[in-house]
Structure formats: structure tokens, C-alpha cells
A = this chain, B = another copy of it.
Amino acid sequence: MTITAAQGFRAAGVTAGLKPSGKSDVALVVNDGPSDVAAAVFTTNRCKANPVLWSEQVLEGGKAKAVVLNSGGANCYTGPEGFQTTHASAELVAQKLGIGAIDVVVCSTGLIGEQLRSDKLMSGITEAAAGLSGTGGLAAAEAIMTTDTRSKEALREGGGWCVGGMAKGAGMLAPALATMLVVVTTDAQVDSETADRALRAATRATFDRLDSDGCMSTNDTVLLMCSGASGVTPDEAELTTRLTEVCHDLAQQLLGDAEGADHDIAIEVVNAATEDDAVEVGRSIARSNLFKTAVFGKDPNWGRILASVGTTNAVFEPGALDVAFNGVWICRDGQPGESRDKVDLTERAVNVVVDLKAGTEKATIWTNDLTHAYVHENSAYST
């Protein structure tokens, strides 16, 4: 019970038959108010899926009353027919709930380049609308899973209001958002502008710094809905903090369940001239297949890290770089430092620190290793 832990929300998850596995695949989340304030962040990919094209219009007014989500198909690169399916989904939800279609956000996930079975989706929506409940959060979280091995939920509460969230995503995780769908609910009283600022601040430091496999999705959506049902109006800093905590929790769950990964890697770039420099350096390392395969092989290969750092425009001196793996500074001043034999990479969690010695800013990028299982899962996914 997480997205429905917030007062004013009902949810459902049902099986419409979109997934060959026969698992649940349509989720509906409704905000019963009194407020319908909402904010969202979408993929920056220029080739956007139909549900993103639709939902961007919905959010223009800073309001939304419901979100319908499906797994079993991304409805991406499916042309006018696909857009019609998205539109019909919103229309049907609106009709069932007595609201307008323009109040309904639509999210889809699954294979791209294939039409969704509209008939099945509509049946699922009808069933989901009939099954909405104040305890439907988990069912909704399960219905949006694709290659996820477990559902992902998070909750932070206190002071009479709460923030709950659910997420899916296991591949195409990068770089501004993952291939992920995230719905965050709160019963706090929040105005549209504050909701938008708080959500952007929260995603900037969490989902935006998750870069599992360097591939940017076409369907990424993070939606925040605010019911106001608690009657509490937190200040913006409190809201942002709690939202960031929920987004961080969900992002770590995405990282921990990334397709085929053996290691969760935190790349901390410290003493950078600017935060942007730190992010650029961290991301360059997170995208090095040679670094990622080395971690899979439990090899603290700092040379591959320096080779990645060298491709960036960040401020640093090549001969001054330090690198630590799990606390062991195996590279000092661009040369071998402590013995690599001291580094133990058998645990799933790996911490890499890169000291640029160029300032006081820092940032952490999270990524995964590149494994046989990743190759297997992604070479076999559509076949």
C-alpha cells in the first residue's frame, strides 16, 4: 500500500491479456481530490511514444485526475493508429470516471514498434475502473512490470501527510530518466507551480543520475499527483525533501533490479570545478562498456576509468587524478597507488570515487555492470 497510502487515491491492477505471460498488465490510479494538481517529467528523446505525446498535452495545465498505465506494449512508433489507441484509452477512463479525457494521463511500456491490442486494452480499462480501491496500490505496481523481477514501491510519511510512489523499469535506463514509469502520489495541499518545481528538483538528483545502460527510452514518465486530502500544506522545502527521498528510494530499486546486472555501482565524482563537470565525468564512466565489463569480472580496472575521464571536457589535470574502489585508492596522481589486491568486488554494491582536484563540487551517478545476463536478456527480449 504505497501510492494508495496517500489519502484521496484509489488504484487497481488487472489482467487484460496484453502480456503473453498472462500476468496483470493494466493499472489505473485515480485522484479523488479535492485537489487535482499534477506535474510530470517526460523523456527528452525526440522520438517519443504516443502516450508521451498525449500526456504532455494533459499536463500543460498542471492538472490531472487519473493515470492509466499498461505493460505489454509501448505504443511507440505505431503512427496515427497508435495515437488513436492512446486517445481512446483516455476517453474510456474519462467516461468511466465522469471526468474529461484531457484529465487522463496515459503511460505505456513494453516492446516498441508494435500496435497495442486496443480491444484488450479497453476491456482491461473497464475492469480496472470497476475494481478501483483505496488498497489497490500494490496491484497497480505489479501491473506495470515488464522485465522487472519485483514491484517497486516507496513511502515517506509524517506530520499528517505522505508521499507514496511506484515505479517500473529494468532496461534502457538512461540518461535523463530511465525506461521507467513512475507515479508518485501525495495527499499534501500543493499548488501547480510548487509541484512542478519540487518534482523537477527531485528527479534531477535521482532518476536523472541513474544510467544503467546508456540507452534513453521513448516512454519515460514520472507523474506526481497531489490530492490535498490531508489538509496539510507543507512548505516547498519539506515537500521537495520527501519527494526526493521517495524518488531516490525508487531509483535505487530500479538500479537493484536492472536487467542482468551483478553489481550496483555508485560513481562519486568529487572536487569538481562544477556540478555539471562532476555529472559529465560520472556519466562518461557509467557508459564505458570496458569499465562495466571489468566490474562484472571483479576487476578494479582504474585505467579504463581514466580513459573515460579523458574523453570529457571537465576541468582536471590528467596527472593529478585519484581513483578509489571501495575505499582503496588504487590510483594516485594518475599512477598506480595502493595495491589492487586490496580491492574486493565480490559484493553487489560497488563504490567508485574519482577525485578531480579541481574544485569543491560533486555528484554521484549510479550504474550497473555489463554482464552475460544483460547480453542474453537484451538479445532475446523480442524473440
Binding site for B on A (CB under 8 A): 45-48, 74, 76-79, 82, 111-115, 171-172, 213-218, 287-290, 293-294, 296-299, 301-304, 306-312, 318-319, 321, 331, 333-336, 370-372, 374-376, 378-383
The answer to whether B290 touches A171, judged by C-beta atoms less than 8 angstroms apart, is yes
Residues of B within 8 A of A48 (CB): 310, 318
Distance in angstroms between the alpha carbons of A105 and B319 in the assembled complex: 22
Known contacts: A296-B375, A297-B383, A375-B372. The answer to whether A289 contacts B78 by CB under 8 A is no
Contact of A299 among B47, B114, B298, B383 (CB under 8 A): B383
Q: Which residue of B lies closest to A115 (CB)?
A: B336
The answer to whether A79 touches B334, judged by C-beta atoms less than 8 angstroms apart, is yes
The answer to whether B378 touches A310, judged by C-beta atoms less than 8 angstroms apart, is no
Residues of B within 8 A of A335 (CB): 77-79, 82, 113
Q: Which residue of B lies closest to A318 (CB)?
A: B47
Distance in angstroms between the alpha carbons of A336 and B301 in the assembled complex: 42
Residues of B within 8 A of A216 (CB): 307, 310-311
Known contacts: A289-B289, A318-B48, A378-B290. The answer to whether A333 contacts B218 by CB under 8 A is no
Known contacts: A290-B213, A336-B114, A375-B370. The answer to whether A218 contacts B310 by CB under 8 A is yes
Residues of B within 8 A of A214 (CB): 287-289
The answer to whether B378 touches A293, judged by C-beta atoms less than 8 angstroms apart, is yes
Known contacts: A46-B310, A307-B45, A307-B112. The answer to whether A301 contacts B333 by CB under 8 A is no
Known contacts: A47-B309, A290-B171. The answer to whether A303 contacts B111 by CB under 8 A is yes
Distance in angstroms between the alpha carbons of A171 and B375 in the assembled complex: 17
The answer to whether B113 touches A302, judged by C-beta atoms less than 8 angstroms apart, is yes
Contact of A303 among B112, B304, B308, B383 (CB under 8 A): B112
Distance in angstroms between the alpha carbons of A382 and B311 in the assembled complex: 22
Residues of B within 8 A of A371 (CB): 375
The answer to whether B215 touches A374, judged by C-beta atoms less than 8 angstroms apart, is no
Residues of B within 8 A of A375 (CB): 293, 296, 370-372, 374-375
The answer to whether B379 touches A296, judged by C-beta atoms less than 8 angstroms apart, is yes
Contact of A334 among B47, B171, B308 (CB under 8 A): B47
The answer to whether A372 touches B376, judged by C-beta atoms less than 8 angstroms apart, is yes
A305 to chain B, nearest CB (A): 9
